[in-house]
Amino acid sequence: DNRQGPVYRSSTTAPVNIAVIKYWGKRDATLNLPTNSSLSVTLSQASLRTHTTASCSAHYAAHEGDSLLLNGSAEPIQHSPRTQACLGQLRSLRSSLEASDPSLPKLSGLPLHIVSTNNFPTAAGLASSAAGFAALVRSIADLYALPQSATELSRIARQGSGSACRSLMGGYVAWRAGSAADGSDSLADEVAPPAHWPQMRALVLVVSAAKKHLPSTAGMQVTVKTSSLFPTRADVVVPRRMQNMEQAIRARDFDAFARLTMQDSNGFHAVCLDSWPPIAYLNDVSRAAVRVVEAINQQSTDAGAGLLAAYTFDAGPNAVVYYLERDTERVAGVFRALLGNERVEGWEGSYGQDIKPA
């Protein structure tokens, strides 16, 4: 129906990212400004991603306003300050474009319909907010034909969910904490593209798909307020580790990458446990996964070689294990043999190649 004008539409996908240097702690909870920089690996879109279509039209009922359908359910975005911040800033960039070029259609005044689906269980605690807000920002930026770079858009995605700013780029991505009070320098940049180290793989072990743990936003606030170990982590340990991790990635040094990844995951869970009330995200199955990785690495280092596998855990019990393609049998193969397929909902993340379901 064209009587009330066309429907403008744009679709995109955004991948999940899994941090190897963790974001944990905000210096500003409204702008999502972190207390430390972080670094993640963007997983292949074939394994874990959000698909989002954004559209706008004069045909859409203005009184209904903007809407978001996530996996078929309407989300109450009118009551989400984070979503409102993203939509407001994208609209204002479009509005500036329209002001500078009067021939452009006036999309900034039209209601937005956003339809999003994940190709993985949303409840599984697999960083769905990162892919979700990255896809939301990218799809609307494309719909509005905004000229801003991925790094500039990361400033907007960050306000939806901190970790989302790292999902606007592929490969190895750093989120620089920045120091400005308005967040203008708290941005993501690509440390290395996927092709720099295409042998990297990730095995996602869904230990529990239940969503019982304390949400990240609340957990971070408790840690910042109460953990006595936290200032050392944020101010001393992570800045040094960021430098070493970037160096390990540039040199494709898996041994150093693995050690830093495991140390940082453990450091993050240590400040969680040091919080009051204490925050414990890992469970017995998580700890069993740690022991399997340690056994694999022990065998390798006993033979005089480097580390083969690195575990990392976010704000929940699920494990992500990084390894190199050449060690697939010795790492992913061991997990599969131990756990069997029915107890492991796994994906092998890969770069530039098809994903084989585990």
- Can you tell me whether residue 136 is helix, strand or coil? helix
Within its chain, how far is the Cα of 92 from the centroid? 25
Pattern of binders to ligand 2P0 over 276-315, x per CB under 6 A? --------------------------------------xx
Give the C-alpha separation, 287 to 291, whole Å: 6
User: Phi, psi at residue 8, to the nearest 5°?
Assistant: -95, 135
Q: Does 38 sit near ligand 2P0 (CB under 6 A)?
A: yes
Scanning residues 75 to 114, which ones bind ligand 2P0 (CB under 6 A)?
none
Q: Where are the alpha helices (DSSP H) in the chain?
A: 81-100, 128-143, 150-160, 216-226, 230-232, 238-250, 254-273, 284-302, 328-339
Alpha-carbon distance 240 to 196, whole Å? 23
To the nearest whole angstrom, how small is the minimum distance from the Cβ of residue 75 to ligand 2P0?
15
CB of 341 to ligand 2P0, least distance (A): 27
316 vs 279: CA distance, rounded Å: 10
Residue number with CB closer to ligand 2P0 (22 or 91)? 22
How far apart CA 17 and CA 287 sit, in angstroms, is: 22
Phi, psi of 282 (to 5 degrees): -85, 150
**Shortest spacing between CB 210 and ligand 2P0, in angstroms:** 17
Full DSSP string of 26-45: EEETTTTEESS-EEEEEPPT
Binding mask 7-36 for ligand 2P0 (x = CB under 6 A): ------------x--xxx-------x----
Which one among 57, 129, 139, 275 touches ligand 2P0, defined by CB under 6 A? 129
Q: Is 260 in the site for ligand 2P0 (CB under 6 A)?
A: no
Instruction: Give the x-and-dash track for 58-77 against ligand 2P0 (CB under 6 A).
Output: --------------------
Cβ(285)–Cβ(317) below 8 Å: yes
Task: Classify strands 49-57 and 188-192 as parallel, antiparallel or unpaired.
Answer: unpaired
Nearest residue (CB) to ligand 2P0, 50 versus 161: 161
Nearer to ligand 2P0, 57 or 216 (CB): 216
Using only C-alpha atoms, what is the Rg of the chain? 21
Q: Give the integer Cα–Cα distance in Å for 205 and 240.
A: 29
Q: Establish if 49 lies at the interface with ligand 2P0 (CB under 6 A).
A: no
Site string for ligand 2P0, 215-234 (x = CB under 6 A): -xx-----------------
Q: How many CB atoms lie within 10 A of CB 9?
A: 15
Decide whether 60 or 132 has the Cβ nearer to ligand 2P0. 132
How many residues touch ligand 2P0 under the rule CB under 6 A: the total is 14
Identify the H or E element spanning 14. strand 7-15
Is-contact 160 183, C-beta < 8 A? no
Residue closer to ligand 2P0 (CB basis): 215 or 231 = 215
Shortest distance in whole angstroms from residue 264 CB to ligand 2P0: 9
| Stretch 131-170 residues interacting with ligand 2P0 (CB under 6 A) | 161-163
Nearer to ligand 2P0, 52 or 261 (CB): 261
Question: What residue is closest to ligand 2P0 based on CB?
Answer: 162
Residue found under tokens 């990635």: 249
Output the smallest distance, CB 177 to ligand 2P0, in A: 12
Pick out residues in 177-216 that bind ligand 2P0 (CB under 6 A).
Answer: 216
Amino acid letter for position 10: S
Instruction: Name the residue nearer to ligand 2P0 (CB basis): 137 or 315.
Output: 315
Q: Which of 202, 346, 17, 318 is nearest to 357 (CA)?
A: 346
**Separation between Cα atoms, residue 343 and residue 284, nearest integer Å:** 15
Q: What is the closest distance, in whole angstroms, from the C-beta atom of residue 332 to ligand 2P0 in the complex?
A: 22
Query: Site residues (CB under 6 A) for ligand 2P0?
Result: 19, 22-24, 32, 38, 129, 161-163, 216-217, 314-315
